[in-house]
């Protein structure tokens, strides 16, 4: 069974940093691109970032460019999102998702990040 499990969320002050992890199982992680998608409370889904299967290429939404870094460790079957200079508007549930061609499937259960003083 394919599974994705996010961790690392929590409460952080504005300007602070947090690193999210997404541990996967049930498929060959190194063969797939991966995404991060977020959802602010009561709001819609917003794409955040994508990384190639070997980590050689990354791309970001304009709203997080220069502040967030996506990375992966294929030996540990783990995807990461390093979030710096956090703002209140970054408050959201963050989902990792496997990129199957141009769609997102499956998704993890998400981890909540709250940016507040």
| Contact footprint for other proteins (CB under 8 A) | 35, 37, 44-47, 50, 59, 61-62, 95, 100-110
**Distance from C-alpha of 34 to C-alpha of 46, rounded to nearest angstrom:** 15
SS3 content of the chain, % helix, strand, coil (to 5): 5, 55, 40
CB of 107 to other proteins, least distance (A): 4
Minimum distance, C-beta of residue 55 to other proteins, in the bound complex (Å): 16
Measured from the CB atom, is 15 or 26 closer to other proteins?
A: 26
Toward other proteins, which CB reaches closer, 2 or 17?
2
By beta-carbon proximity to other proteins, the closer residue of 13 and 107 is 107
**Distance from C-alpha of 68 to C-alpha of 28, rounded to nearest angstrom:** 25
Token pair 């961790």 is found at 7
- Residue 110 in contact with residue 93, Cβ under 8 Å? yes
Q: How far is the CB of 20 from other proteins (least distance, A)?
A: 15
């Amino acid at each position: 069974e394919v599974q994705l499990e996010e961790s690392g969320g929590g409460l952080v002050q504005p300007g602070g940093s947090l690193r999210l992890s997404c541990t996967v199982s049930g498929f060959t992680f190194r063969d797939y691109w991966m995404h991060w998608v977020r959802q602010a409370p009561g709001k819609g889904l917003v794409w955040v970032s994508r990384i190639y299967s070997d980590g050689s290429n990354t791309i970001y939404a304009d709203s997080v460019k220069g502040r967030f870094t996506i990375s992966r460790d294929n030996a540990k079957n783990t995807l990461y999102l390093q979030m710096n200079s956090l703002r209140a508007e970054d408050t959201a549930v963050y989902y990792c998702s496997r990129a199957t061609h141009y769609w997102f499937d499956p998704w993890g259960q998400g981890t909540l990040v709250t940016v507040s003083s």
